[in-house]
Amino acid sequence: MRVAVVGAAGRMGRLVVGAILDAPDLHLAAAFGREGAAASGSDAGTLCGRAPAGVSLRPVGDVVADVWVDFSLPAGLDLALNHIRPGVPLVTGTTGLDARLRDRLDATAATRPLVAAANFSTGVALLRSLARIAASTLPSADVEIIETHHRHKRDAPSGTALALASDVAASRGVDLASVIDHGRHGETGPRAEGRIGMHALRGGDINGDHTVWLAMDGETVSLSHRATARSTFAMGALRAARWLVGRPPGRYTMDDVLGLGAVGAEDAFTRS
């Protein structure tokens, strides 16, 4: 399977290129970077710490490939959509898309299979699926979501924590905004039934931990995920790429890729 990578010199791109070079079933068809990038012309294998791959970093352009994988910037994705051949599948993890580019992605899904997700962790996709099952199986359990991130994170709660909360709310058929409680302090009174508590811990260099905690009389259930390395996103994207080749045109999610089956919750990731 011939894979073209956009953003190949970036942090994610190098991980994707390295994983392609390590995989016996994948072949690096092209390594695209920003026009005028310092690394232009460098060997893509060398860039990611492997043996030379015989593929040089070059500006986004035409190539014969079975699938494209993009982790760049919105401008890189825009260029990729100009050059990718009709019908060729696209996997993109680039975030920060404006409305025009989101519309462009929606339009391209009419002509090619597409997975666009801001979190390609297969573990997070599984956690979300388990959270939906737990929330509907235990409809009266008190649910609290706890997320932990490094001290540099600027926003709270994390997009993943919000996605988990929306999964729980959707599984119970309630509107998230009307049941969520962000932290607690002071005279809170007893916990009201049906609320979803949300708590953000900050400190150290933690990549991202998420726990969905369900408490009932006599027992509790904790569902937890810990991200330990960014390579998980690269592996998830390549899993999506392998799965997409040969599919009919359309917009697919990581749930589709993993065979988890969506339970109606909107994918909050794709909004970022």
Ligand X SMILES: NC(=O)c1ccc[n+]([C@@H]2O[C@H](COP(=O)([O-])OP(=O)(O)OC[C@H]3O[C@@H](n4cnc5c(N)ncnc54)[C@H](OP(=O)(O)O)[C@@H]3O)[C@@H](O)[C@H]2O)c1
For 260, how many CA atoms within 13 A lie in the half-sphere containing its CB?
22
H or E element in which residue 18 lies: helix 11-22
State which residue, 49 or 96, has the beta carbon closest to ligand X.
96
Kindly state whether residue 229 participates in binding ligand X, applying the rule CB under 6 A.
no
Per the annotation, the verdict on 149 as an active-site residue is yes
Other CB atoms within 10 Å distance of the CB of residue 179: 18
Among 21, 31, 67, 71, binds ligand X (CB under 6 A): 71
Among 73, 138, 221, 245, binds ligand X (CB under 6 A): 73
Q: What share of the chain is helix, strand, coil (3-state, %, to 5)?
A: 35, 25, 40
Kindly state whether residue 206 participates in binding ligand X, applying the rule CB under 6 A.
no
Question: What 8-state DSSP symbol labels residue 207?
Answer: -
Per the annotation, the verdict on 185 as an active-site residue is no
Kindly state whether residue 32 participates in binding ligand X, applying the rule CB under 6 A.
yes
Query: Residue 272 and residue 269: Cα distance in Å, rounded?
Result: 6
Residue facing ligand X at closest CB distance: 10
Closest CA to 30 of 67, 5, 51, 12: 5
Amino acid at 159: G
Show the tokens assigned to 187.
Answer: 């005279």
Among 1, 2, 27, 37, binds ligand X (CB under 6 A): 37
Query: Residue 147 and residue 233: Cα distance in Å, rounded?
Result: 18
State which residue, 44 or 131, has the beta carbon closest to ligand X.
44
Give the interface segment with ligand X, choosing from 82-90, 99-107, 113-121, 153-161 (CB under 6 A).
113-121
Kindly state whether residue 18 participates in binding ligand X, applying the rule CB under 6 A.
no
Among 4, 5, 79, 170, binds ligand X (CB under 6 A): 79
Which residues on neighbouring strands pair with residue 198, listed in sequence order? 145, 182
Give the interface segment with ligand X, choosing from 32-40, 41-49, 82-90, 173-181 (CB under 6 A).
32-40
**Which residues contribute to the site for ligand X (CB under 6 A)?**
6-7, 9-13, 32-34, 37, 60, 71-73, 75-76, 79, 93-96, 117-120, 233
